[in-house]
Structure 1
Amino acid sequence: MMSPFDRGHSRRAIRFCLLAGAAFVATPALAQETAPQQAPPQQAEPQQDFDGASAQDIIVTGLRETLQTSINEKRRETAIVDSLSSTEIGDLPALSVGEAIQTITGATTHREKGGASEISLRGLGSFLSNTTFNGRDASNGSGDRAVNFNQFPSELINGIKIYKTQQADLVEGGVAGTIELGTIRPLAFKKRRIQLDFKTNYSPYQDRIRGSSAWGWRGTASYVDQFDAGALGEIGIALGVQRNKTNNPEETYAASSTWVACNPAISVPAGNCSEVSREQAAAGTPFALVPNAATYRQISENDKRDAIFGAIQWRPSSTLDINIDVQYSKRDYAENRRDLNLSEMRYGLSNIAYDENGVITHLEGRTSLEAVGTLLERDEEYRGGGFNVEWRPVDRLTIKADASYSRTVRTDVERSVRLRTDPLDIYGNPTAINNQRVGYVYDVAPGSYAPTLTIDPRFDVNDYTLFSDDARLRRDELQRRNRIIAGRLDATYEMDGFLRSLAAGARWTEQTYSDYDDRVEITQDSRTIDRDVNLACRTTFPQTDYLSNAPGNQLSSWATFDPVCQFREYLGTEDPGRNDDVRSVANRDVTERTLAAYLMANYESRLGDMPIRGNFGVRAVQTRITSNGLRSDLQVVNNPDGSIRLVDSGVFETVTIKSRSTRLLPSINAIFELKPDLLLRLAGYRAMSRPAPSALGAGRTIQLEDGTNFSSVADAISLITANGSPRLKPLMSWNADASLEYYLNKDSLFSATLYYKQFTGGFIPVVLNEDFSIGGQNYSIPVVQTQNSTRKSRVYGMEVTLANRFTWLPAPFDGLGGKVSYNYANSNFKNEDIRLGAVYDPETGETTPGMIPAANLSGYSKHVVSGQLYYSLGKLNLSAIYNYRSKYYQDFVGGNSQLRYVRGNQTLDLRASYDVTPNVQLQFQAVNVFDEPKITDMPVQGSIRQYHYYGSRYFLGVRAKI
C-alpha cells in the first residue's frame, strides 16, 4: 500500500529521471552535430586511461574532476564497480562520508538526525552489504556490521569504491555489494600539501531553542609530505585532524515500539483492550493495531567530535613498500529530551475506526499523562590501525601481508525523571478531571502522516501542578564494545598467456561484541517531596514553534522540568552512579572467529578481434560463533503506583551456545570490449551476509505490560524475546549481473546493469517454552526468537547511470554537466513480525499464519534516484545533489522486534565554491533544503508510528592550502 505522501514523492522522482534522461540521451547526438570531423578509423588511437593530462588538456577541479576520476576508475576495474574519488584531499562532494556515498549509482542512505547513516546498495539493506576501511573491517558502537560513517571525516577520505559484483579476493559479506573507503597514501600523492579547512554552520531549527546558539563549526587540518632518505629510500607522511562542534535539533511525535492487535468489538472501560491472537484473527476476528504508548518529544543537542588520522609510508626500495596507518575518533554527545507521554494508549478504548489492514484512523481512550525529562550523554571512542607490507621478491611475484586492529567503545548514560498525573495536584487539591487518567481523541486525516491527539480541554498540559505523583527516577547505562583483530596474507604471481596472474591468500579475523544495560530505578510517593521538587525544577518549554510544520498538530508546549535538578533535589546527587554488579540476563557476549582462503586467476585474451579480460576464483569461509548469556532467578519489586518490575536475584549461571558454518563462494567476472569505448561485463558469483553481532546474543529481554490490574506475575509479562539468536547462519545468495557501459569521453558515461539474486534461505520467528523462576514460583513462558528458514526468495533489478558535460551548449552554458542514476529492484523476501507475524513451532513443525503481512528485506527500496548537476565557470563551481528512495522496511538493531517501515523521502543539497586564489577557496553548502520529515509506520504500512523534523543546515567555509 502506497500512501499519497509516497505517491507524490515517487511521481516527482520519476519525472526527474525522465527529464534528466532525455537531456543526457540527447547529448551524444548534439555533440556529434557540433563536433569537428573525426579522424579516420585506421588512425584511431588505442584505448587509454583518462588519467594523465597532455599539454593540450584542461586541468579540471571540483565536482567535475571527481566525476572524471570516478568514470576512469569504473572503466579500469575488472568487477562491476561504481566509485567516487578525487586526486585532491577533501574534494568529496559532501559533508559526511554517508552523504558522499549516496551520490554513487544504486546507493542510498537511512537518515538519522537529518544526516546519512546506514547505506543500502541497489535498494537492499545495509546488512546485505559489507564495508571496509583501507581494505579492513571496521568496528562500530551500534551492534551491527554497518560502519559508523560519522567517525570518518569526509575531508580526510579521498576515495570511495563500491563493488557491485564479488571476486574471490574481496572480504566476504557483500550480497548487495562491498563498500571500500580509502585514505591517501602519502607517496602516491607526490607533492607536499598543508591544508586548512574551516566551516561554520547555521541551523534554523536550533535558533528556535531558547538560550541556545544556532551556530556550530568544524575545523580540519591536514599535512602530506614526502622525503628522500637516500640509501633508506623514500618516506611519506600524512596527518589529518578535525574537530566538529555542532547541534542537531529534532522535534518528533512517536508511538511505542510495541503494537497490539486490539479487539474493537469488546469494550474494556477500566482496563487495556482485549488482544486478538493469531488463531482468532485467522478465524475472522477483526482487530485494530494500537501502540502501548505515544510521546511528543522535543530535543536539543550538543555534539562534539575529534578525529585524528595518520599514515607513514616507507619505500626502502622498488621491491618493498611498508605502510602504517592509524585512526582515532572520539565523540561526546549530549541530548536533552522533554517528553509528554501518553503512557496507556490501550486503556478504556471506544469508538475505534480502522481499515481492512487494522490501521486506526480514530479512537477515544483514557491515559495517564507523564512529563518526562531526560539527559542522554554519549561517549564514543574509535581506535583503528593497520600495518601493511608489500614485497616483490622477484619480478613476477608480489606478496602482501596486512595486520589490523579496530575497537569501538560506546557508553550511553541516560538520566530520566517521570512525573505522572493524579486525581490531586501537588497541593492535594482535586484536579478538574479528578482522575489519574485523562481522556483523549486520536484522529488521522485522510492522506496525513501526523495524527491529531486532542486531550480533554479541562486538563492543561502546561500546568506544572498537575504532574504530581508517581515520581520515578531512572539512571540507565548502556555500554557496547566491539573489537576486530585481523590478519591476511596475499600472493600474486604474474604469468604470460591466457592466464595473466594467479592470486591466493588467507584471512583470519576475530570479532568480539559485548554489551550491558544497567538500570538504577528509584520511585517514591510522598506528595510533599514531589511538590518541593516540582517547584524547584520547573523550566520554560525550551522551544518556540514546536512541530509548527506538522499538519493538524495541536500541541505546541507542555510543562517541563530539569532532570538534573530533579536528581539533585530528590537524591542529593546529580548522578547516583551505576550498580556495583552490571550483570543481567539481557547482556550479550559474542565472539566470532572467521578463517577464509581464496584462489583467483586473472585472464586476458581475444575472442576473434574482440579483447576480453576478467577473473575467476573461489573463496572458502569458515565462521565460528561462541555466545555467552546469563540466566538468573527473577524477583518481583512492587512499585508505589501498583505496577511491578522484575530484577535479577544476583546469582547467575552462564549459558554458552556455539555455532559454526562453512561456505564456498565461487565467482567469475568477464569483460568484453565490444568497441574501444563500449564494454560488456558479465558476472556470476555466490555471496553471503552474516547476521549482526548483536543479533547473535544469548540473553533474554522481558517486556512487561503497562498498568496494574493483573491476577499473576505471568499475566503481567507482555513478551519475552531472545536477545539474539546465536545459531543464525549467514544469508546466502546466487547472483548474476550483466552491464553495458559506453564511454563517450572523459566526462560522459552511459551504463545499464541488470542483476538477479536468488536467496537460498530466510528468517522466521519461532516460539520455545522456557522455565523461569519469578518471585519464588516457576513459570513456563513462551520465548520468541528468530531462526533460519528454508524459504527461497529472489531479487532482480536494473540500475542505469548517465553522466555528461554539456560541451555542445554555447558558452557560458558549456560549463554545465551532471550525472543521474536510477535503480529499480523487485524482491519477494519475507521478514515476519515477531509478535503478529507468522510463527514456527519447532515441536510440531507447523507454522501459524501471521495476522499482518510480512515485510521485505530490511532496507529494501523499489526505487532509488540520485542526481547531480554542476556548473563550472572559471573560478566558480556550483552543484546541486538530489536523492530519493521509496519506502522500505527498517529493522531495529539486535533483531527480534516488530516491523518498522520508513516512508519514501527525498533530499536536496546545494554546494558552491569560489577560488579566490589558486590556494584559497570559499565554500558554501546547504543540506536538506526541502526540510522533509522522516516518517515511519509500524507494524504495517500506513499505520503511523513516528515523524521527525530536523530542519535544514547551512555551512560557510574557507579552505587554504600550501
Structure 2
Amino acid sequence: MPNRRPLKAALLCGMAWTFGVGMAQAQDATPAGSASQVEEVVVTGFRASVQSSISQKRNADIVADILSADDIGDLPASSIGEAIETITGASTHREKGGASEISIRGLGPFLGFATFNGREASNGSGDRSVNFNQFPSELINTVAIYKTQRADFIEGGVAGIIDMRTIQPLDFGRRRIQLEGRALWADYDSKLNDPAGPGWRGTASYVDQFDLGGAGMLGLSLGIQSLETTNPEELFTSSSTWVACNGTQTVSATSNCSEVSAAQVASGTPYYLIPGSRTYRQFIENDQRDAIFGALQWRPNDVLEFSLDYQSSRRTYTEDRQDLNFSETRRGVNSRDVSADGVLLFYTGNSSIESTPTFRIRDEQYDGGGLGVKWDVRDNLTISGDLAYSSTYRSEMDRQTRLRSFNRDVNNVVVPGVINTNRVGYTFDYRNSDIPAITVDPLYDLNDHDNFSTNGRVRRDELVREHEVRSARVDVEYRRDNSVITTVKAGTRLSDMTYTDFDDRVERSYTTAQTGAANLACRRDFAQSDFLSNASGNTITSWAQFDALCLFEALTGVADTGRNADTRAISNRDVEERTIAAYVMADFDTMLFDLPFSGNFGVRYVNTDVTSRGLRSGLNVINNIDGSVTLVSTGAFETQTFEGSSDAWLPSFNGTFELKDDLLLRVGAFRAMSRPDPSALGAGRTITLESGLSFPTVEDAINNITANGNPAAEPLLSWNADLSLEYYPNPDSMFSAAIYYKQFNGGFAPTVSNETYIIGGTPVVVPVQVDTATDDTSDLFGLELTVAHRFSNLPAPFDGLGVKASYNYADSNYQTHDLRLGDQVDPVTGVVTPGIIESAGIFGLSNHVFSGSVYYEIGPVELQAIYKARTEYYQKFVGGPSQNRYIRDTDTLDFRASYRVNSHLSFSFEASNLTDEPRIHDMPVPGSLREYNTYGARYYLGARYRF
C-alpha cells in the first residue's frame, strides 16, 4: 500500500505549529464581547459554527462540547456521525464508509447515551445508540456532548450524553425557505463493470412564524429529504468464531485440528488461533432514504407554550454480495508458522471452496416525536411536561445460495486439483502483508463456473427487530431572587421500552444433479476490476460468480420462499423494561475564595424492572446432503419468563469558578449509570454448529451454545470526577484542558453452566456461556485538550486562516474476557479458570483520539481540511455476546470547500476518506487478522438556495 504516514505527519506538524502561533497571538486579539466586532463583522460558514460552539461551551453549566449552527443546514459535515467525530473526545466506528457508533472519551457506545430533542430514541441495532444514518445532517442544528451529568438529565451515560436537536421555529425568529441538492459519487464505483454513476441527495426546508392576533404566535418548521446513492466495498474476512488448536498435533487431511483446553495451555502445550472459515467478498450496495421532520411551536400568551415535533425516516438498502468462501479452514492444518502469541502466520491445508452469492435487502423505519407544554404559573414558577414516542422497525432479508467445489464439474468431467471428493489444497501466508496470501492448488481454476457443481444450498434468512420507547416526564422549576440558591427543580420520568426480534431461516439442500442446470443458467462475469488491489499480499482477484436472485429461483422454483409458517425459535428475544425516575436539583450562584462560583447539585433516583421472555423446545436433527447437520425446533414450545430489577441513586455536582472574565475552572463529581443493551437482556439461546464434516453424534457437531442475553444483567455504575480549565480570549478562540477519572463498579465475564436439551429425542447436556456482571472494580483516567483560533491579526489574506483541534487520552484497567478463550467463571462456585488469551479493554476505548481541522476564508470562498485519528480499540459485536474483536489504528482525511455567490446562492464540494484508509479487524488477539475492509473516497458536489 502507499505510505501515507509522511502526509499525515506533515499535517499534524503544521497544525501543531499553527496552534502555538495562534495561542501566542490570542492575548492580543480583540476581547470577547467587543462591540466593534459584533457591529462590523458578519460571520458566516464554518467560522460562525466555531463561534457558536465556543459561546455555548462557555455558557454551559457543565463540562460540555457543542457543535452548533445559527442557520438551518449549516452544520459543517455531510452526516451527523461525521459532525460528532469533530467534537472533542468523540470518535466513531466506521461502517459502510461512514461514521456510525460513537465513543466518548475512550468509552464505547454502550457506556454513552444518545437523545433526540432531549428524549430517548429507539434504533434497529439492538443497542441503545442512535442510528445516526437515519437523520439528515441538513435538518439538525445542534449536537451537544455533555460530559458531566446533571440530576435532571435522562439517566444513562457513564461516558456522556449526545443530544441532537432540531430548531424551534419561534426561537429561530425568521422566515427561511431553503432548497439544497447534492450529487454523490463513490470512488470505487469506477471499479465496477456496470457502475451506478452519481447518487443524489435533495433537501427542502421551510421555517416561518405567524401572528395569530389574540391567539398568540405560531411557529412552523418542515424539512424533507430524499437520498439515493451507492456504496461499493470489498473485503477479506473470517468467521466470528475462533478456536485455539493444539500446536503439537499433526492434523490429518480429513479432519479438523483439535482444540486445546486452558489447562493444557497453562501446563505448556503450544497453541495457535484459527477461525472456522475465511471469505473474500465483493459487493455493491444501493442506499435510499426518505425523511421528514416537522415542528409546531405555539405561544397563545406570555405564560403558556405548546410544542409538537415529529420525525420520520425510512431507509432501504440492498446489497448484491458475492463471496468466495474457504469453509473448512481448520482442516488438515500443517507446516505451521506460529507467533509467540498464537497468531497463525503460515500453514498448508485443504478446504471446500464455495461461490456464495447473496442478495440482501434491509428496510428500516424510524418514527419519533413528542408533545410538550410549558406553563409559567407565576414569574418564579414554571411547570413543564412532555410525552414522547420513538419506534424503529428493521427487517433484513437475505436470499443466499451456495455452489461448492467437487471432483467432477457440471459436465461430469474430472476436475484437476480436487482431493477427498470436494476439497482443494491451499497455502496460507500472512507474513509481512496487509492480508494473507491464500494460494490454491494451481490445477484448480477459481474462475471456472463449471468447477462449482455440488452441494447446492439455498437460505432465506430474515431478521426482524422492533424497538419502541414510550415516555412521559413532568418538571417543576422554582426561581429565587437575591439568594445563593437561584433555582430549585424537581421532576419525574416514566418510561416503557419494548424490544423484540426473531431470526427466521428457510434452508434447502440440493444434489449435484439438481444444481447443474441452475449453474448454467445463472452465471455472470466477475463484477469489477482491481479487486483488493490496495491490499498487499492479495492473491485472489476474481472468482466464478453467479446471479444470486437467478440462482435462488432456479433452485427453489420461486423468487422468494417466504418465511416459515412458525417463526418461533429459542433464539428469539422479547424484552420489556420499565423505568421510574425522580430527581431534585438546585442551581446556585455565589462567591467562594473571592471568586464568582456557580453551578448545580442534585440527586436522581432510578428504578428499573425488566421482564424477558424466552422460548425453549426440543430439537430435531436434519442430516443435510453435504454431510452437515441442522437443528430445528420440534414446534412444541414452552415460554420461560425471567425478571430482573435494579435501583440506583445518582448524585451530581457541577461548579464553575470564574477566575477571570475569560478564564473558567469547572469541577464536576457525579455517579452515572449505563444500562445493558435491550438485546443483551434477552432470554434466548444461540446454537453454533460445526460445518463441513460428518460427526458421530450431534453433541460433537455442536460448536457451542451461547445465551444471547442475560435478563438479570444490572446497569454498570461509575463514580466520576472532572476538572476542566477553559480560556476564552475572544469569540474565535478558546483553549481547554480537562482531566477526568471514572471508577466502574462491576464488569462482565463469561460464566459457563450446563443445560439439558432434548435433541433428536435424546437428552444432551451442553455447556452454555452467559455474560454475567462481576463485582470487579476498575478505573479509567483521561486527559482532554481542545484548541480553536482564528488568525485575525495576520495581514490579509492570511487573516482568514483558522484552526480547531482536540485530543483525548484515556487509559483503563477494565477487562473484557473473550467468550470462548478468556477467563471462565463457574456460576455455582465462583471459581475463575484462567483463559488462554489476554482480555480486551473496555468497549470502544482508544488510548489516543485526535481531531483537527484547518479552515480558510477569503471573501466568499471557504476551505477546510479535517484530519481524524484514533488508536486501536476493542469493538463489540452488537446483538449478543461474542468473542473479542479489535479495530486497528485508523485515520482519515476529509476536505470541504464552499463558494457563496450571494446571500441566497452557494455551492459546495466535499470529499471524505481521501487517503482510502481501510478498516482492519483483528480477532481474538491484536495482530490476528479477521477482516480487511476498503471502500475508497466519497465525493459530494452541492448547491443551496435560501430565501
Please state which band the TM-score falls in when normalised by the shorter chain. Answer: over 0.9
Map 1:614-625 → 2, pairs under 5 A: 614-625=599-610
Partner residue, 2:555 = 570
Partner residue, 1:518 = 504
Partner residue, 1:445 = 431
Q: Is the counterpart of residue 321 in structure 1 residue 316 in structure 2?
A: no
Q: Is the counterpart of residue 409 in structure 1 residue 404 in structure 2?
A: no
Distance in 2, Cα, partners of 1:150 & 1:230: 41
- Listed one character per residue, the Cα deviations across residues 575-598 of structure 1 (whole Å, up to 9, x for unaligned) are 111111100000000001111100
Q: Is the counterpart of residue 373 in structure 1 residue 351 in structure 2?
A: no
1:27 Cα deviation (Å)?
A: 2.3
Contact persistence 1:17–1:865 (CA under 8 A): no
Partner residue, 1:591 = 576
Q: Is the counterpart of residue 294 in structure 1 residue 278 in structure 2?
A: yes
**Could you say if the C-alpha distance between residues 772 and 12 of structure 1 is closer, same or farther in structure 2, counting changes exceeding 3 Å?**
farther
Q: Is the counterpart of residue 61 in structure 1 residue 47 in structure 2?
A: no
Map 1:92-171 → 2, pairs under 5 A: 92-171=75-154
Contact persistence 2:4–2:915 (CA under 8 A): no
Which consecutive residues of structure 1, in runs of 5 or more, have no partner in the other structure?
39-46
Amino acid at match of 2:21: A
Please, which of 20, 23, 30 is the counterpart of residue 25 of structure 2? 30
Distance in 2, Cα, partners of 1:118 & 1:53: 43
Partner residue, 1:347 = 331
Amino acid at match of 1:79: I
SS of residue paired to 2:665? strand
Please, which of 404, 414, 426 is the counterpart of residue 430 of structure 1? 414
Partner residue, 2:267 = 283
**Could you say if the C-alpha distance between residues 55 and 355 of structure 1 is closer, same or farther in structure 2, counting changes exceeding 3 Å?**
closer
Partner residue, 2:769 = 784
Distance in 1, Cα, partners of 2:441 & 2:530: 22
Distance in 2, Cα, partners of 1:348 & 1:287: 15
Please, which of 33, 56, 66 is the counterpart of residue 83 of structure 1? 66
- Listed one character per residue, the Cα deviations across residues 606-656 of structure 1 (whole Å, up to 9, x for unaligned) are 125411100000000011110100000000001011111100001100011
Amino acid at match of 1:366: N
1:791 Cα deviation (Å)?
A: 1.1
SS of residue paired to 1:711? coil
Map 1:650-661 → 2, pairs under 5 A: 650-661=635-646
Distance in 2, Cα, partners of 1:137 & 1:221: 26
Q: Is the counterpart of residue 491 in structure 1 residue 486 in structure 2?
A: no
Partner residue, 1:826 = 811
Contact persistence 1:841–1:847 (CA under 8 A): yes
Please, which of 391, 398, 421 is the counterpart of residue 375 of structure 2? 391
**Could you say if the C-alpha distance between residues 277 and 776 of structure 1 is closer, same or farther in structure 2, counting changes exceeding 3 Å?**
same
SS of residue paired to 1:897? coil
Partner residue, 2:894 = 909
Amino acid at match of 2:553: R
Partner residue, 1:710 = 695
SS of residue paired to 1:633? strand
Distance in 1, Cα, partners of 2:125 & 2:620: 30
SS of residue paired to 1:792? strand
Distance in 2, Cα, partners of 1:487 & 1:645: 46
Please, which of 149, 160, 176 is the counterpart of residue 159 of structure 2? 176
Contact persistence 2:188–2:936 (CA under 8 A): yes
Partner residue, 1:42 = none
Partner residue, 2:233 = 250
SS of residue paired to 1:760? strand
SS of residue paired to 2:837? coil
Distance in 2, Cα, partners of 1:401 & 1:823: 37
**Could you say if the C-alpha distance between residues 250 and 60 of structure 1 is closer, same or farther in structure 2, counting changes exceeding 3 Å?**
same
Distance in 1, Cα, partners of 2:803 & 2:135: 27
1:240 Cα deviation (Å)?
A: 0.2
Please, which of 505, 515, 519 is the counterpart of residue 491 of structure 2? 505
Distance in 1, Cα, partners of 2:378 & 2:42: 38
Amino acid at match of 1:394: R
Partner residue, 1:644 = 629
1:268 Cα deviation (Å)?
A: 2.2
Partner residue, 2:182 = 199
Contact persistence 1:821–1:867 (CA under 8 A): yes
Contact persistence 1:289–1:358 (CA under 8 A): yes
Partner residue, 1:471 = 456
Q: Is the counterpart of residue 851 in structure 1 residue 836 in structure 2?
A: yes
1:17 Cα deviation (Å)?
A: 5.3
Contact persistence 2:327–2:692 (CA under 8 A): no
Partner residue, 2:195 = 212
Contact persistence 1:21–1:820 (CA under 8 A): no
Distance in 1, Cα, partners of 2:166 & 2:125: 23
1:760 Cα deviation (Å)?
A: 1.1
Distance in 2, Cα, partners of 1:224 & 1:138: 24
1:54 Cα deviation (Å)?
A: 6.9
**Could you say if the C-alpha distance between residues 492 and 698 of structure 1 is closer, same or farther in structure 2, counting changes exceeding 3 Å?**
same
Amino acid at match of 1:414: D
SS of residue paired to 1:95? coil
Contact persistence 1:13–1:884 (CA under 8 A): no
Partner residue, 1:680 = 665
SS of residue paired to 1:491? strand
1:880 Cα deviation (Å)?
A: 1.0
Amino acid at match of 2:284: S
Distance in 1, Cα, partners of 2:135 & 2:899: 26
Structure 1 residues 607-616 or 941-950, which shifts more?
607-616
Amino acid at match of 1:899: N
**Could you say if the C-alpha distance between residues 631 and 581 of structure 1 is closer, same or farther in structure 2, counting changes exceeding 3 Å?**
same
Amino acid at match of 1:149: F
Amino acid at match of 1:383: D
Partner residue, 1:400 = 384
Contact persistence 2:418–2:444 (CA under 8 A): no
SS of residue paired to 2:39? coil
**Could you say if the C-alpha distance between residues 370 and 457 of structure 1 is closer, same or farther in structure 2, counting changes exceeding 3 Å?**
same
Amino acid at match of 1:24: F
Please, which of 520, 523, 542 is the counterpart of residue 535 of structure 1? 520
RMSD between superposed Cα atoms in Å: 1.6
Distance in 1, Cα, partners of 2:598 & 2:63: 13
1:812 Cα deviation (Å)?
A: 0.3
1:10 Cα deviation (Å)?
A: 9.2
Contact persistence 1:797–1:823 (CA under 8 A): yes
Which consecutive residues of structure 2, in runs of 5 or more, have no partner in the other structure?
none
Distance in 1, Cα, partners of 2:856 & 2:281: 41
Map 1:847-886 → 2, pairs under 5 A: 847-886=832-871
1:13 Cα deviation (Å)?
A: 6.8
Contact persistence 2:405–2:423 (CA under 8 A): yes
1:865 Cα deviation (Å)?
A: 0.2
SS of residue paired to 1:267? coil
Structure 1 residues 66-75 or 548-557, which shifts more?
548-557
Normalising to structure 2: TM-score of the pair? 0.98
**Could you say if the C-alpha distance between residues 250 and 53 of structure 1 is closer, same or farther in structure 2, counting changes exceeding 3 Å?**
farther
Distance in 1, Cα, partners of 2:37 & 2:89: 33
Contact persistence 1:21–1:802 (CA under 8 A): no
Distance in 2, Cα, partners of 1:297 & 1:201: 24
Normalising to structure 1: TM-score of the pair? 0.96
Contact persistence 2:247–2:269 (CA under 8 A): no
1:284 Cα deviation (Å)?
A: 1.1
Q: Is the counterpart of residue 240 in structure 1 residue 223 in structure 2?
A: yes
Amino acid at match of 1:746: P
- Listed one character per residue, the Cα deviations across residues 882-930 of structure 1 (whole Å, up to 9, x for unaligned) are 1101000001112321000000101111111101121000110001111
Amino acid at match of 1:167: R
